[in-house]
Structure formats: structure tokens, C-alpha cells
């Protein structure tokens, strides 16, 4: 049998080029219009169009999620095992648990916002977004207060490793986090009285007749915590910055606070907090006239798909009456984000409290925001004045 020659690719773009990193969302918009299925050394195949991304999300048999060399539960697991993990994980984000957590979440938000000064500029990420994400996550998991500072420091080191694009530092940071979790598991095991907090409950969960391994529990808690400490913080920064820049929208929500859940999803569609996710083809497939062999690595470009003109008329405009089913903020299909109910609660509560505490907030013209860089989105710094 003759060997099929290796495919030679023409690189359509460079995702790490400085012009892309300066404004990732605009760069992805341009790629969607110019080359909606593109190849690059860094991202392999990238799908920019909403329809192409949705097709991939709805076809997990063709687009596998098992792309990492490290265990990633549940988002890095394919069916049928994926369903078994989701059956364990989804109840942690039930309506009853989320409703019960709301008073705790609101107390955290009130405590942080009540300390914000009205007489000077506030750096949103360090003074509100990151502390809120850290405290809310720790409270939801019932983690000890003494972990707050190590986790805060860990978040900073994770950001520095990401900015430096240093794989050795990134691996070390990941190992450090896993150490925190393993120590916590051992503490929970040694407790004289069994607890009903999330970590303790996970120690008692069973899958296919056996207890979850420590590696599986660490992976679950890593996914929840990294998502909280980075993505929720990014969302808060994006939301505050957007409303500061768009006083008419801010005023609309002050007058109509019941619209906040829809408005939050819409703002985060316009400026997505997550840029990409990865897949791997299990069979040959052709998308947009481009052939991808089995085993091809594919990057789904969330930050482009959610701004596609074919799915969202005038995608840069804030519109409260869009079809929510088209918004891919929390994904779609079997891998839709299990923590979406918690995220929606936290973002609604923090924005309700900020709008109630202030009469207005606006950008600081002499302190421009510092955009986050791939793989992060949102801002590393964004300043507002409160009134």
C-alpha cells in the first residue's frame, strides 16, 4: 500500500503576531470575514464562523474533546464516559444549591463593593473582580480562609506564566495548584466528623461502581477553580468596563434591573471572556472547502463565532431582544458549561450590588485599560471613577 504524502499547509495567519495580540477580538473578526477556516502553526485549524463552530459542538463523535495530555474532567472526556462524569457533577450546580448560595454570594459582593471609594479611581480587576471571584469560589466550595492568599498569589503567578508563554513556569504553577487540592483532600479525609462541603462530597462520589480517584477529584476542582478565578474575574472586568463606556446602557439597567441577566449575556457576547477551545477530528472532514484529515487539531474561535454577522445582526450593538439560543457564551451540546448557573448568579449579584451602590461610574481618561493577552480575554487593568 502506498503511503499518503504528508499534507503541506499554507499558513493563513499568525495568532501570536503583535498586531493580533493588540486587539484579539478585532483580529478574529477580520479573519472571519477574510478566511473563516484558517490554518496556523500555533492553532492548527481555526473555525471562525458561528455555523461551523455550532456544527462542531453538536458533533462530538467527529470533534473529540480529548486533546490534552493531562486528565481534564469532564470537558476533556468524550462519550460515553463523559455522561457518567456529568451525572456526578451537574447536581452540584442544581437550582436548589445555587439558590441557597445566593445570600452568601451577595454578602461577599456587598462587603467588597462597600469598601470601594467614591472619591478616587478604582482599578476594577485588583479591587473588585479578582477578590470577588476568589472569595465567591472559596465560599461555594467551603474552602478555608487560609487558602485565600495562596490562591491569590497563585493567580498572579499563573498570569505571569501566561504572559511570558513559558511552558515550564505554566507546568510548575499547575503543579502548585494541584498540591493545594491534594492537601485539602487529605485534611478532609482525616476529619473526625464527615463534612458535607463540596470537596468532602466528591471524596464519596462513585463512578461505574468505584470511588473517584484523587486525580479525578483534583481535575474537577482545578477546572472549577481556574474557571472561577480567571473567567469570572474577566467577566466582571468586561461588564464594568462596558457599562462605564456605555452610560446609556448603564442607565437603562439602573431603571430596569430585571434585564440584567439578559444584558450580562449580551455584553459578554460582544466582548467574550473566553477566546477559544480545542478539539481533534476523529475522521476526515471538510469545512468551508478546507480538508482536515483524521487527527487534525481544531480551534473553535468563541470570540469570533459569537460576533458573526450571519448569526447576530449588527454584532457590535447591544440588543436585549436577541435569540439567547444563538449565544455560545457557555457553550452548546453535551459539553455545555456545567457551572453556568453559578456563573450567572455571581455575575448578576455583583452587578446588582455595584449598580445599587453607585449613581454612576465612568472610565478614567488618563488611565486607559490594559487588555489581556492570549489565551486570556478581557483586561489586566481597567480603571473607573465611581459616583
* Cell numbers placing 51: 455555523
**How far is Cα 42 from Cα 13, in angstroms, rounded to an integer?**
9
Rg (CA), the chain: 21
Do 309 and 315 contact (CB within 8 A), yes or no?
yes
**SS3 category, 209:** coil
CA-closest candidate to residue 234, choices 43, 76, 371: 371
**How far is Cα 121 from Cα 134, in angstroms, rounded to an integer?**
22
- Delineate the domains of the chain, giving CATH numbers in brackets: 18-386 (1.10.630.10)
pLDDT at position 249 is 98
pLDDT at position 176 is 85
Would you tell me how many other CB atoms lie within 10 Å of the CB of residue 42?
14
Do 66 and 78 contact (CB within 8 A), yes or no?
yes
CB neighbour burial string for 70-107, b if at least 16 within 10 angstroms, e if fewer:
eebbbbbbbeeebeebbebbeebbeeeebeebeeebbe
**What is the enclosing helix (H) or strand (E) of 224?**
helix 214-226
CA-closest candidate to residue 43, choices 296, 373, 331, 290: 296
pLDDT at position 8 is 62
**How far is Cα 230 from Cα 129, in angstroms, rounded to an integer?**
9
Q: Could you say which residues of the chain have pLDDT below 70? A: 1-8, 162-163
Amino acid at each position: 500500500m502506498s503511503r499518503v504524502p504528508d499534507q503541506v499547509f499554507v499558513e493563513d495567519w499568525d495568532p501570536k503576531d503583535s498586531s493580533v495580540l493588540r486587539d484579539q477580538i478585532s483580529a478574529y473578526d477580520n479573519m472571519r470575514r477574510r478566511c473563516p477556516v484558517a490554518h496556523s502553526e500555533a492553532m492548527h485549524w481555526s473555525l471562525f464562523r458561528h455555523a461551523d463552530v455550532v456544527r462542531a459542538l453538536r458533533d462530538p463523535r467527529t470533534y473529540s474533546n480529548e486533546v490534552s495530555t493531562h486528565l481534564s474532567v469532564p470537558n476533556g472526556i468524550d462519550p460515553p464516559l463523559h455522561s457518567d462524569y456529568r451525572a456526578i457533577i451537574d447536581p452540584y450546580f442544581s437550582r436548589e444549591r445555587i439558590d441557597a448560595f445566593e445570600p452568601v454570594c451577595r454578602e461577599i459582593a456587598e462587603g467588597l463593593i462597600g469598601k470601594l471609594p467614591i472619591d478616587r479611581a478604582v482599578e476594577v480587576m485588583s479591587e473588585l473582580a479578582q477578590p470577588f471571584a476568589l472569595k465567591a469560589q472559596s465560599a461555594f466550595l467551603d474552602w478555608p480562609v487560609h487558602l485565600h492568599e495562596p490562591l491569590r498569589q497563585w493567580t498572579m503567578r499563573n498570569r505571569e506564566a501566561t504572559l511570558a508563554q513559558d511552558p515550564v513556569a505554566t507546568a510548575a504553577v499547575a503543579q502548585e495548584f494541584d498540591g493545594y487540592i491534594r492537601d485539602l483532600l487529605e485534611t478532609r479525609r482525616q476529619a473526625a466528623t464527615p463534612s458535607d462541603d463540596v470537596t468532602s462530597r466528591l471524596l464519596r462520589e462513585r463512578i461505574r461502581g468505584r470511588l473517584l480517584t484523587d486525580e479525578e477529584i483534583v481535575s474537577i476542582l482545578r477546572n472549577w477553580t481556574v474557571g472561577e478565578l480567571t473567567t469570572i474575574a474577566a467577566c466582571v472586568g468586561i461588564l464594568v468596563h462596558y457599562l462605564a463606556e456605555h452610560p446609556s446602557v448603564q442607565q437603562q439597567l439602573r431603571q430596569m434591573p430585571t434585564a440584567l441577566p439578559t444584558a450580562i449575556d449580551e455584553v459578554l457576547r460582544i466582548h467574550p471572556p473566553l477566546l477559544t477551545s480545542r478539539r481533534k477530528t476523529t475522521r476526515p472532514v471538510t469545512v468551508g472547502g478546507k480538508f482536515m484529515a483524521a487527527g487534525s487539531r481544531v480551534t473553535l474561535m468563541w470570540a469570533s463565532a459569537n460576533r458573526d454577522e450571519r448569526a447576530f445582526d449588527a454584532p457590535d450593538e447591544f440588543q436585549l431582544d436577541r435569540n439567547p439560543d444563538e449565544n455560545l457564551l457557555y457553550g452548546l451540546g453535551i459539553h455545555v458549561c456545567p457551572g453556568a448557573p453559578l456563573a450567572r448568579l455571581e455575575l448578576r449579584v455583583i452587578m446588582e450590588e455595584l449598580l445599587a451602590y453607585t449613581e454612576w461610574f465612568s472610565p478614567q481618561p488618563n488611565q486607559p485599560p490594559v487588555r489581556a493577552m492570549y489565551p486570556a480575554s478581557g483586561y489586566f487593568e481597567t480603571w473607573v471613577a465611581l459616583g
